[in-house]
Amino acid sequence: MNSYTDDFSILNFQRDLVDWYKMNQRDLPWRADQDPYKVWVSEIMLQQTRVDTVIPYFNRFLSLFPTLEALAEADEEKVLKAWEGLGYYSRVRNLQTAVKEVAEQYGGRVPDTPEEISKLKGVGPYTAGAILSIAYGVPEPAVDGNVMRVLSRILLIEEDIGKAKSRTLFEKAVRELISKEDPSSFNQALMELGALICTPKSPACLTCPVHEHCRAFEQGRQRELPVKEKKTKVRHVDIAALILWREDGKYLIHKRPKEGLLANLWEFPNVPVKKRGQSEIEDLKVFLEAEWGISAEIGDHISNLDHVFSHLKWDIQLFEGRCIYEIGDKDDLKWVTFEEMEAYPFPVSHQKIIKLAKEVAVL
């Protein structure tokens, strides 16, 4: 089978791409040095999240956990709090688990071979390639959707980038293209090109440093690529949530299970609704009594919120209520003031509820 890089001027492409990167790279905090721990943290944060959003989180995270050992030894709730708002919380739980493994089994030094680093929790082929190439100068591919989009156009690859088998094809192409002298700059240059020039909807082809090498540009097909089938439909779930207060000025919050969606984060009481617009109050009362032995007087509907995950959308009807009878704190159930809430990590949807709760506070 022919390679996509046949009849492709690899050395000239490397030179044009890397030269452009060295002249135009953004000043990003994780590029200050090539510390593998910092590269690792940044790459995990950048999954599913924009660079501008990540920068303040990265700086704060590194101020709290400046070394691999500091993160390994940190309390999980403190780590989740530092990640609060970034979403996809399994990323940081896996990161901390893997960091502990590095501290215990590798003497605190991030592994520098594909075989070892790929064994760590949450380190897939892309993250492994990014750390190895950027921090250690190992010529490994770091292929994500960004890189697949760029190479789909440059090499005119018409395979669906949403299919798992396509990644292998793109990794093979990067292995053939990557600079052996400076794999760190090469991989970062591909990422930078995708972020600044070869964007999803409006690629700036005329200012692209490698447009002379781009087969899609030559044929005027750059907007047709990459090929990607549409995502499956997002599932909707109707939820009733409750701001439940007590006479002493405290509010009820609950810790989610340690497995599954938003694991170990805190939230206000909530329950899936049987009949939207009809059964919310009754559903909440039954849930409180059955789950926690709490009786409540539930009042007004306050607001509607929604929150979209990659596969799921929550439509939240928010109510407020007063506790009539309760049995006290449990490990996963706390009565807290607004000030005390600040120590607990909440998902974005429930951070919004905190803001609304402060606006309607009756105490």
Catalytic residue positions?
Answer: 43
Distance CA 363, CA 349 (A): 23
- What is the CA 339 to chain-centroid distance, rounded? 27
40 with 95: CB under 8 angstroms? yes
Checking DSSP bridges between strand 235-245 and strand 312-325, what pairing results, if any?
parallel
Residue with tokens 């899609």: 216
* Structure tokens, 79: 């780590």
> What element of type H or E holds 135?
helix 125-136
- What is the CA 325 to chain-centroid distance, rounded? 40
Distance CA 339, CA 355 (A): 12
Residue 237's nearest CA partner among 320, 308, 310, 318 is: 308
